[in-house]
Structure 1
Amino acid sequence: MKFKIIAFTGFCVFTLSTKTFAQQGSIAINQDDKIKELLDVKKEMNKDENATDRFKIQLYSGNRADAEDVLKEYNGDFNQWEGTLVYETPNYKIWVGSYRTRLEADRALTEIKTKYPNGFIFKPKAKS
């Protein structure tokens, strides 16, 4: 019995103490040149998506003079998201960005709220 325990312990120590080497290799990917063209076409198509499929951030709603001032100030502070002046009767509004997901809009809003605490996320309604 003692011999079996010693043999088993020796076997375990031997197998656990040996080094194992991971296999080294390389992968070569061959793809058609048209894949890049298709990706470029898809990017262009995504730019033309309907604006109602996106989220936006509203910074201001009020009279035109103040809206223009807010837009000018915003463009000086943040240049990574485009700001636009929109007229919806009876107010002028400043809308920022065009985000595919609510998460993208939330991340941008977190940064924008440092300067514009009244900003909020919305999804524009389709014009009839």
Structure 2
Amino acid sequence: MFRKNKIAITTALIIGAIANTIAQEGQVSIQQDETIPALLEQKSEMVQDGVIGERYRIQLFSGDNNQASKVIKEYRALFPHWSSTIVFETPNYKVWIGNFRNSLEADRALLEIKKSFPAAFRFRPEKR
């Protein structure tokens, strides 16, 4: 008897939920804050710049500033299509290349870069 009541109550609740969803037809109006498109654009830029998100880079050099400048100039002459930057992490200046979306993309670039810079390696920067 208890089991039949439990089944009946469960069935009634399911039918009521279905009827309630069907009965709620109509128009929905959504009001959006004006700052949301600007925030989405800013987030997209941050993902592209590698500030947020999981990205990979290639390191060519780690050492003093003068040598880092020479390495980046040499790199830019050979590979202008991937971005490059000098980053200071105490006590060294590092030359970082690219902002690759996945390890496969970074590995393909690394194969090409290693021909000119054999000490280059792929890594994922720590989030700051």
Q: Please, what TM-score do these two structures have when normalized by structure 2?
A: 0.62
- 1 CA distance for matches of 2:88 and 2:103? 24
% identical aligned pairs: 44
Question: What are the within-5 Å matches in structure 2 for residues 23-34 of structure 1?
Answer: none
- Cα drift, residue 47 of structure 1: 3.7
- 2 CA distance for matches of 1:52 and 1:68? 28
- 2 CA distance for matches of 1:101 and 1:88? 24
Moved over 6 A (4+): none
C-alpha offsets along residues 69-101 of structure 1, whole Å, 9 cap, x if unaligned? Answer: 000110011011011000000000000000000
Find the counterpart in structure 1 of residue 73 from structure 2: 72
Find the counterpart in structure 2 of residue 26 from structure 1: none
Count of residue pairs brought into register by the alignment: 86
> Which of structures 1 and 2 has the bigger CA Rg?
1
- 2 CA distance for matches of 1:90 and 1:77? 27
Question: What are the within-5 Å matches in structure 2 for residues 76-95 of structure 1?
Answer: 76-95=77-96
Find the counterpart in structure 2 of residue 48 from structure 1: 46
Which ranges of structure 2 fall in alignment gaps of 5 or more residues?
1-39
Cα RMSD, aligned residues only: 1.8
Q: Please, what TM-score do these two structures have when normalized by structure 1?
A: 0.62
Q: Answer yes or no: is 1:60 the counterpart of 2:61.
A: yes
